[in-house]
């Protein structure tokens, strides 16, 4: 018999509440050397290395490569900045990394959302806007910290795994849906997320909805700060019939499972694009062009 959804739901809620928000890239480029023995077998990109090892980042150990040369710059370009052998190796490493990441980039253009959503980008924040019979529906999300930690089994030391078994990196950001009616002072705001067990890489037994509403409140329309004094409905202890009506309300405005799936694709593409951009900026900074 399958694990009962009813019995599992309590645990699922606890898991989703204990969301680990620290990104695997919180300490970028800190541990690839440390992780090399286990991850070099998986995929030759730093992103995979970070995904597969959290221990390096938190161990407190810092590799002291090139440390003896830190105070003796060996390369000079006249810019007044410090250039070390380490910087050069770093720059070369980034060149390879950017090349590899561009190779696996699915498309340079972002995927289109179906349903007439207009996309606006502001750095890592995306805003999707749609008008439905006089109502304005806005969905915002930020790709920072949107890649959940890898809950899959750890790759055993020295054990090779075929490349096709590697989990794809998927961005699953929390997102906010704002519904504004004409003439109304306040918007109805839904704070939504992708529950973690749905995006696990295990077989079967994914009991959560594709996306879930976490909180609902009325807020002043626009980008202003949210009022903490507005009553906020938390869905953890909500009457399920009310929850279903809220989900149907969103579906009627184009925010349904199809939308959530497309949002995941869009967010993954944006995140990857921003990652490559970051690597390029980092490379320019290190190399001092």
Partner 1 sequence: MGVVLRNLQKVVPIRRARLRKDVDTLRHILGIQKFDLGIICVDNQRIQQINSLYRKKNLPTDVLSFPFYEDIRPGKLPCPLHRDELNLGDVFLGVEFVMKQCQEESLDFHGALTAVTAHGICHLLGYRHETDEEWTEMSQREQYILSEFNRLTGRRLEPMMKKCSQDSR
Burial degree of 190 (CB within 10 A; 0-12, 13-18, 19+)? buried
Q: Is 203 exposed, middle or buried (0-12, 13-18, 19+ CB in 10 A)?
A: exposed
Dist. CA 7–CA 9, nearest whole Å: 6
Minimum separation from the CB atom of position 207 to partner 1 (A): 6
User: Which CB, 170 or 276, lies closer to partner 1?
Assistant: 170
Least Cβ distance, residue 6 to partner 1 (angstroms):
4
Closest contact distance (angstroms) between CB of 208 and partner 1 is: 7
Report the nearest approach of partner 1 to the CB of residue 170 (Å): 15
Cα separations in angstroms, 270 against 48, 80, 125, 286: 18, 35, 9, 24
When the beta carbons of 8 and 288 are compared against partner 1, the nearer one is: 8
Which positions touch partner 1 (CB under 8 A)? 1-2, 4-7, 9, 198, 204, 206-210, 240-241, 244-245, 247-248, 251, 256-258, 260-261
- 205: how many CB neighbours lie within 10 A of its CB? 11
For 134-154, give one letter per residue: b (16+ CB within 10 A) or e: ebbbbbbbbbebbbbebeeee
- Minimum CB distance to partner 1, residue 244 (Å): 4
Task: Between 56 and 148, name the residue whose CB sits nearer to partner 1.
Answer: 148
Q: Which is nearer to partner 1, 204 or 222 (CB)?
A: 204
For residues 4 and 17, which CB has a smaller minimum distance to partner 1 in the complex?
4
Go through the chain and tell me how many residues it has: 289
Q: Which is nearer to partner 1, 235 or 273 (CB)?
A: 235
* Shortest CB 137 distance to partner 1, Å: 17
């Amino acid at each position: 018999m399958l694990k009962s959804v009813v019995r599992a739901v309590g645990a699922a809620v606890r898991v989703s509440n204990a969301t680990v928000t620290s990104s695997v890239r919180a300490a970028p480029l800190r541990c690839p050397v440390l992780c090399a023995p286990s991850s070099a077998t998986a995929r030759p990109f730093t992103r995979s290395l970070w995904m597969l090892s959290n221990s390096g980042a938190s161990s407190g150990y810092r590799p002291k490569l090139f440390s003896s040369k830190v105070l003796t710059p060996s390369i000079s370009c006249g810019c007044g900045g410090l250039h070390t052998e380490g910087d050069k190796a770093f720059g070369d490493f980034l060149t390879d990394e950017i090349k590899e990441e561009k190779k696996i980039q699915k498309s340079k253009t972002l995927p289109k959302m179906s349903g007439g959503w207009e996309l606006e980008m502001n750095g890592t924040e995306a805003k999707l806007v749609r008008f439905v019979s006089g109502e304005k529906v806005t969905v915002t999300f930020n790709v920072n910290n949107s890649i959940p930690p890898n809950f899959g089994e750890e790759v055993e030391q020295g054990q090779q795994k075929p490349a096709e078994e590697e989990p794809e990196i998927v961005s699953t950001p929390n997102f906010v849906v704002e519904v504004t009616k004409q003439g109304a002072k306040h918007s109805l705001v839904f704070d939504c997320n992708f529950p973690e067990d749905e995006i696990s890489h295990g077989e079967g037994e994914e009991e959560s909805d594709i996306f879930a509403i976490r909180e609902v409140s009325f807020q002043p329309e626009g980008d202003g700060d949210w009022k903490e004094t507005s009553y906020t409905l938390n869905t953890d202890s909500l009457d399920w019939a009310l929850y279903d009506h809220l989900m149907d309300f969103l579906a009627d405005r184009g925010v349904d499972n199809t939308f959530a799936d497309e949002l995941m694709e869009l967010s993954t593409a944006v995140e990857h694009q921003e990652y490559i951009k970051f690597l390029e900026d980092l490379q320019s900074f290190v190399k001092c062009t």
